[in-house]
Amino acid sequence: MAQESSLAADSTFEAKGARYRLAALRGSDLAPVLPLFLDAFGREFDARKLERKYTCEEGGLAGFVSVAFADNGEAAGSVGVLPWPVRFGDRSEVAGQMVDVATSNAHRGRGLFVRLADHAREVCESAGVAFLFGFPNDAAYPIWMNKLGYEHIHDLVEYRVPVRTAPVERVARRAGALGGLYERHVTRTLRPYVPADPVLENSLVVEGFAGIDRDREFHAYKAAFNGSRVLAVDGGRAWVNPQHGLLIGDLEASSEADMDASLRSLVRLARRLGLHHVVFQVSRGTRFSPFFESRARTLPGLPVIHRNLSSQIPADRLRFTFGDLDNF
């Protein structure tokens, strides 16, 4: 009951002569932030996709967006939170992933980002969230670090394997009429690879690191939100998303030989789907690092930031993969 009142409670914030109402929104109440998201993130969002993104729930806390409303009722800024279970050995905690930071052009320079991030943290603390983390872009990074008390714990690395193929996906996504045909082609091509068990446990947790505990509900959420899926390929199952390349969320393969077989299998699938790259992002210092560094183009990935609230999981043991990003 205390959590419900915290989510529903409003507060106010004043800056440079403007007054804002702050509120934490979720579910069907998220509609007012859609114009702000469309302005900030482009065509990535529609109303249904926005609601699907925030359907996740853990430890009694549902995904929510802290929103600043201007006097005219429009959403002026936002900071979103997605709650996830994180496991380290036998210990499990609830963590909040910080996402969807946006401020409309008319309200920049008034400290909305900082106040909304603090508002989101307050909601998380009242719900018993153990720590907060995120993968910020260059513009937001210094604010998280210098004004909000976050720690930079490590970086993701991007590994990119080129695939020589016809530009089927690019053409289909640019021509709206072909998008449905292409999606049906993807479904038909991947249908033989659907495994009996579509749940792939976080391989980094299996390796002994701390990470998001991916269960059946987690995979169902990711599939419904953005179309990721687990496939049975050579060397072991792979969690992938065919979006602007064949994106790898995680790999089951444990040995170098199995990883090599899986990568070769995924390159063949990408060629059949007209995808020009196989792409994987993963934290430094995992079993994947030496394998991919010798076989793929290596690019800088996103920083990983962390703020402890009450966690007993060491931050230096946390590791993440591409599948943990909110847009995977």
Reported as a single tens digit per residue, the pLDDT across 34-81 is 999 988 887 667 888 899 999 999 999 999 999 999 999 999 999 999
What confidence score (pLDDT) does residue 3 get? Answer: 40
Please, are residues 281 and 301 in contact by the beta-carbon 8 Å criterion?
yes
242 in any annotated domain: yes
Q: Are residues 70 and 167 in the same domain?
A: no
143 in any annotated domain: no
Q: What values do phi and psi take at 325, rounded to 5?
A: -65, 145
What is the mean pLDDT of the segment spanning 307-320?
Answer: 98
Q: Are residues 106 and 199 in the same domain?
A: no
Of the chain, the end-to-end C-alpha distance in Å amounts to 33
Residue owning tokens 């790259």: 277
Computed over every residue of the chain, the mean pLDDT equals 93
Q: How confident is residue 171, by pLDDT bands cut at 50, 70 and 90?
A: confident
Kindly report whether the global pTM for this prediction surpasses the value 0.95: no
CATH classification at residue 17: 3.40.630.30
83 in any annotated domain: yes
Give pLDDT tens digits for 268-296. Answer: 999 999 999 999 999 989 999 999 999 99
Q: Using CB atoms within 10 A of its CB, is residue 209 exposed (0-12), middle (13-18) or buried (19+)?
A: buried
54 in any annotated domain: yes
CATH classification at residue 255: 3.40.630
Q: Are residues 239 and 164 in the same domain?
A: yes
What is the mean pLDDT of the segment spanning 11-18?
Answer: 89
Angle (nearest 5°) at CA 294 between 291 and 296: 95
Q: Is the pLDDT of residue 176 over 80?
A: no
Q: What values do phi and psi take at 309, rounded to 5?
A: -110, -50
Measured between alpha carbons, how far is residue 251 from residues 56, 114, 159, 263, 326 in Å? Answer: 23, 37, 14, 9, 18
Q: Is the pLDDT of residue 8 over 50?
A: no
Query: Can you give the length of the chain in residues?
Result: 328
Count the domains in the chain. 2
318 in any annotated domain: no
What confidence score (pLDDT) does residue 48 get? Answer: 87
Q: Give alpha helix (H) positions in 127-231.
A: 141-147, 168-174, 176-190, 203-206, 216-226
What confidence score (pLDDT) does residue 4 get? Answer: 40
Give pLDDT tens digits for 213-256. Answer: 999 999 999 999 999 999 999 999 999 999 999 999 999 998 99
Q: Are residues 84 and 173 in the same domain?
A: no
Q: Are residues 76 and 170 in the same domain?
A: no
Beta-bridge mates of residue 217: none
Query: Of 129, 164, 181, which residue sits at a domain end?
Result: 129
Whole-number Å distance between alpha carbons of 317 and 131: 13
DSSP string, 266-300: HHHHHHHHT-SEEEEEEETTSTHHHHHHTTSEEEE
Please, are residues 28 and 51 in contact by the beta-carbon 8 Å criterion?
yes
Whole-number Å distance between alpha carbons of 328 and 305: 18
What confidence score (pLDDT) does residue 173 get? Answer: 74
Beta strands in 104-178 (DSSP E): 131-134, 151-162
Residue owning tokens 């995977």: 328
70 in any annotated domain: yes
| Domain region containing 259 | 156-302
What confidence score (pLDDT) does residue 5 get? Answer: 36
44 in any annotated domain: yes
77 in any annotated domain: yes
Q: Are residues 216 and 113 in the same domain?
A: no
Q: Are residues 167 and 115 in the same domain?
A: no
Measured between alpha carbons, how far is residue 134 from residues 75, 102, 178 in Å? Answer: 22, 15, 35
What is the mean pLDDT of the segment spanning 195-212?
Answer: 96
What is the mean pLDDT of the segment spanning 130-138?
Answer: 97
Q: Are residues 119 and 173 in the same domain?
A: no
Please, are residues 81 and 53 in contact by the beta-carbon 8 Å criterion?
no
DSSP string, 313-325: S-GGGB--BGGGS
